[in-house]
Structure 1
Amino acid sequence: MSALINAFTLGGDGPTIVIKDTIDIAGMPTTGASRALANAASAQEHAQVVRLLLDAGWRIVGKANMHELAFGMTGINDYTGTPINPQDPTRIPGGSSSGSASAVGLGLADAALGTDTGGSIRGPAACCGVVGLKPTFARVSRSGVAPAESTLDCVGPFARDVRMLIDTMSVIAPAFDRETALKSVTTCKVGIARVDAQAELLSAVAHAPQRAGLSSHAIELAGFADAFQAGLAIINAETWAAFGHLVDSGKLGADLEARLRAASSTTPDHVSAAERVRRSFTEAVDRAFDGVDVIVMPTLPALPITIEEARRGVSVIAMSSLIRPFNLSGHPALSLPLPIEGSPLLAGLQIIGRHGADEQVCAVAAAFETALAS
């Protein structure tokens, strides 16, 4: 069962959850689904999010598979196996939290934890037809999560519906206000960002606020394309710093080794320029919230490609074009399953909120969820 690296039971009789293999569980190695870390020593203690779940009586039922070392968008892993896309097994499950999204979509657990450095929760959620949240940066503890240092990465939940997502957040983020997240949204100003994506996805996003009875208007996000490139530069530099020493091990997948070698060419000047973009883009998003409560757009610019296409070398870098900028800015962003006219596949509706307004993002997502199901 490739959604999970290994299945086991740990904890109480509460909701079931799987944990991505970048998150420490005491007594088990954290391998990042990589042969290069297969002999890693077992974790000495639980990551803080794992401890919080166990203290709340949740039941962990396995370690979730993933794209090797959390550095890829397809979810394909020839070492641990590629998790099944519950919507269409011929298509990629998305990365890097592929096993987390797959396990939830397949009903193997009520919820899952993943990590999102450049879209790695929202992308798989959109591919697999489930809900996934990248919280506000630093809203959820990364203690006991690999890599140890990151200015982009966030731990966040997957679920099949928004209520379970809220339940998960209320455990892993102790300051999260569950009651606020569960409040019915009757008024909300929605900004529909002008972005490049397939026409049918843009149409579905444009009609979603109307279906939910919410007011909306189009907005521009200044510097969006630059933010995407800046996010790439920073993730490349930080991933090389964390895992570059494994390049000569002879144990990395060919695709990952190639990307790491390319990442090694990121210079301090590239990072400095990216940090300037981070500041300007964050300010631009904050300004956009002067006139709206949430911003929406497709999660991915297109439906997921097939595994065969990915193996043939079809580029997937554009998959993260609409999600990576919000890792750079740190705003909370949620992907909700979005019906597409004429397609059996669900896409993703991305809902972005103000810094710290994770509860409002969830409440708005619940309103959209109800409307889109009718």
Structure 2
Amino acid sequence: MTDPVNAFVAGPRARISGRAGGALAGLSFAVKDLFDVAGIPTGGGNHDWAKANPVPERHAWAVQTLLDAGADLVGKTITDEVSLGILGENAFDGTPTNSAAPERVPGGSSSGSAAAVAAGLCDTALGTDTGGSMRVPSSFCGIYGIRPTHGRIDVTGLMPQAPSSDTAGWFARDAATFARVGAVLLGEAPGPLPTKLLIAVDAFAFADPEVAAALQPMVRKLERVVGPAREEIMAPQGLSVWARAQRSLQPVEAWQTFRPWIERHNPRMAFSVAAGLIAGSQVPASERNWAALMREEARARLRHLLPPGTVLCLPTTPFPAPLRGLPMPALQPMRDRITCLCAQGGLTGSPQISIPGATVDGAPVGLSIIGGRGTDASLIALAQAMEAIS
């Protein structure tokens, strides 16, 4: 198979046929290079990581589950370095091409998986989401993507980053395939549909005006399925406050995860990745304690807003994908703004699906739906119902 969008990692191409006659027979899938595939190094987006760790002898749970269901594995995909990125650019492996907007980044860290699905190189692909790594590339590439309820998908065989926020999800170009894969990984068919809809007015106000306007037809579609919407503030403390809490907790865990490797092997890494790890090592205890309390407040807020049968919608990202190759000073403010719309995932563990269907200046932007913990199947049913509306 050719790779016109640089989605797949170089080296041995993992190709494994699925079990004959399974529920996903006829579908192909790719996996982010954080998931173990037996006999293939898990690279993690950093060549020194692969050298320092043994080649796995078993498939990750999610990989094995898709194979057992009949899907065919076609390769491992590029990720931002050790999953510490949100835009999709990798100094070792390059930047996958966003086929929906080739001059723009694909979003990360599940960049290769999103790019492969968007380009039609596979039907679905596994990725991960700690601070936005499923949701952001879904929005930027114009495809479906899910951050499941934290702990819902078994992460055995998945390279960790920040375990209290790490999740495994999947991409698809259409809602039917998205739901078909979800039924296997969740062990639950889509449904039931929610009956109450909330609009996160603080999130819509935070997004670029062009994005908020472009998403309004999708919000009206949601209302046609669920019923009239009610406006609510998602983060009363402030979106930037929730983002600060996530930026205090996630980097500390990432430093704890990668510290033994760094101290033992002194690996090569991009400056931005090294800077983030150093920052995580220096977060004071007082900041960590405050952030842990803010996480409890955020969880309480979403429990209050999202009783059974209720969903909340918001822009997945505040803007469409930025241009490729921007200088570092231009990128950090963008990352900070993205975190303001993604922090609730890592803080609360609630499921979130990014639904395609809008563009700004020809580039995709996604609308997200969030439900209470454990309502993943209901969100998938809603995504299907929306796609059915012309």
Give yes or no for TM over 0.5. Answer: yes
Which moved further from structure 2: 35-44 or 149-158? 35-44
Distance 1:251 1:167, change over 3 A: same
* 1:147 maps onto 2:149 in alignment: no
Shift of 1:121: 0.3
The correspondence of residues 1-374 of structure 1 with structure 2, limited to 5 A, is 1=3, 2-6=6-10, 7-12=13-18, 14=25, 15-39=27-51, 40-147=53-160, 150-174=163-187, 177-178=188-189, 180-181=190-191, 185=193, 188-194=195-201, 195=203, 196-212=206-222, 213=224, 214-221=227-234, 222-223=236-237, 224-247=239-262, 249-290=266-307, 293-310=310-327, 313-315=330-332, 316-317=334-335, 318-340=337-359, 343-371=361-389, 374=390
Task: Tell me the matched-pair count.
Answer: 365
The one-letter code sitting in structure 1 at the alignment partner of 2:289 is S
Report Cα offsets for 1:251-306 as digits up to 9, x if no partner. 11222112211221123332222111111111111111249711001000111110
Contact 1:23 1:146 in 2 (8 A): yes
Q: Distance in 2 between matches of 1:44 and 1:143?
A: 13
Give the drift of 1:339. Answer: 1.3
Q: Does the aligned pair in 1 maintain the 2:147–2:345 contact within 8 Å?
A: no
Q: Distance in 1 between matches of 2:287 and 2:215?
A: 34
CA distance in 2, matches of 1:245, 1:335: 35
Change over 3 Å in CA distance of 1:257–1:227 after alignment to 2:
same
> For residues 129 and 310 of structure 1, what CA distance do their matches in structure 2 show?
25
Measured against aligned partners, the alpha-carbon deviations of 1:6-25 in whole angstroms (never above 9, x if no partner) come to 43310226210001111111
Output the CA distance in 2 between the equivalents of 1:207 and 1:326: 25
Contact 2:242/2:340, CA 8 A, preserved across alignment: no
**What 5-or-longer segments of structure 1 have no aligned partner?**
none
SS in 1 for 2:331: coil
Which amino acid letter does the alignment assign opposite residue 307 of structure 1?
A: R
Aligned partners of 1:258 and 1:4: how far apart in 2?
A: 26
Contact 2:162 2:250 in 1 (8 A): no
| Deviation for aligned residue 1:33 | 1.2
SS at match of 1:38: helix
Q: CA RMSD in A?
A: 2.0
Superposition TM-score, scaled by structure 1 size: 0.92
- CA–CA separation in structure 1 for the residues paired with 2:162 and 2:115: 27
Matched residues in 2 for 1:20 and 1:310: separation? 26
Identity over the aligned pairs, expressed in percent?
Answer: 30
> Quick one: distance in 2 between partners of 1:291 and 1:103?
35
Is the alpha carbon distance of 1:149 and 1:302 closer, same or farther for their aligned partners in structure 2, counting shifts above 3 Å?
A: closer
Aligned-pair CA distance for 1:335: 0.5
**How far is the alpha carbon of 1:26 from its aligned partner?**
1.2
